[in-house]
Amino acid sequence: MRQLILDTETTGLNAKTGDRLLEIGCVELVNRRLTGNNLHFYINPERDSDPGALAVHGLTTEFLSDKPKFAEIAEQLREYCRDAEIIIHNAAFDLGFLDMEFGRLGWPPFMQNCSGLIDTLMRAREMFPGRRNSLDALCERLGVNNAHRTLHGALLDAELLADVYLAMTRGQESLVIDDGEGDESNDGVPREKISLRQFDLPVILAASEEVELHDGVLNGIDKGMKGTCVWRKEPEPQEGETPAAT
């Protein structure tokens, strides 16, 4: 499956009142792996940025004056995104600008060229209700290092969002067969039970190099979450169990 994490920077907050795109960044995922086949444009918006927007992205009119106009990069962007699933944080904002730019060219809305849309802001609000769900807040919560983010940039933000999206969707609903007596899933639909006793399942231990890499990941989570990693805590013994010897 091909997915594209997309982010934009703009001259202001409202495409309908004349604000324009001035930067687009796309990061490619294929089967949940970063490919490095990314796309990035600086764009001459043909107008100045509002002071508030300029303070966020730092892209001056002088810097953008010799960059291509949107019409010059539009076909490359459309072909790159064709048939991909698009992942955006606060999709309504970015799509509003993309649709406005596409409309200037007489083209249909941006998403008609793509296979689907995931809004990570909506996903985050479902996962973390009542909490801050900005990109910076999610980076801190999920252990994604954003220390190098002093100004917003479309490609940098897309790269951070790729890490955030992978962290948000890393879990699996079912890893092993449930030994409970119930024969229904969480949605109430009957499921056939399958016994694994007939299989001779090998136990493959991690190599010392893999253990070191794993410890490095846990150290990073410890630092990012500012607390003890839950995977380093001993589980509480269940009723009737003897605590493990230390």
Q: Which domains does the chain have, with CATH numbers?
A: 2-168 (3.30.420.10)
Q: How confident is the model at residue 186 (pLDDT cuts 50, 70, 90)?
A: very low
What is the set of active-site residues?
152
Residue 157 marked in a binding site: yes
Q: Nearest-CA neighbor of 26 among 105, 80, 106, 98?
A: 80
6-54 tens-digit pLDDT: 999 999 999 999 999 999 999 999 999 999 999 999 999 999 999 999 9
Q: Is 136 helix (H, G, I), strand (E, B) or coil?
A: helix
Name the pLDDT band for 179 (thresholds 50, 70, 90). Answer: very low
- DSSP letter string, 2-45: EEEEEEEEESSS-GGGT--EEEEEEEEEETTEE-S--EEEE---
Can you give the pTM of this predicted structure? 0.68
Instruction: Enumerate long-range contacts of 208-213, CB under 8 Å, 24 or more apart.
Output: none
Is 70 exceeded by the pLDDT of residue 102?
Answer: yes
* Contact between residue 22 and residue 104 where contact means Cβ atoms under 8 Å apart: no
Q: What confidence score (pLDDT) does residue 32 get?
A: 93
9 known ligand binder: yes
Pick 246 or 211 by higher pLDDT: 211
Residue 199, C-beta contacts closer than 8 angstroms, at least 6 positions apart:
none
Mean pLDDT taken over the chain: 84
Both tokens assigned to 117: 């849309």
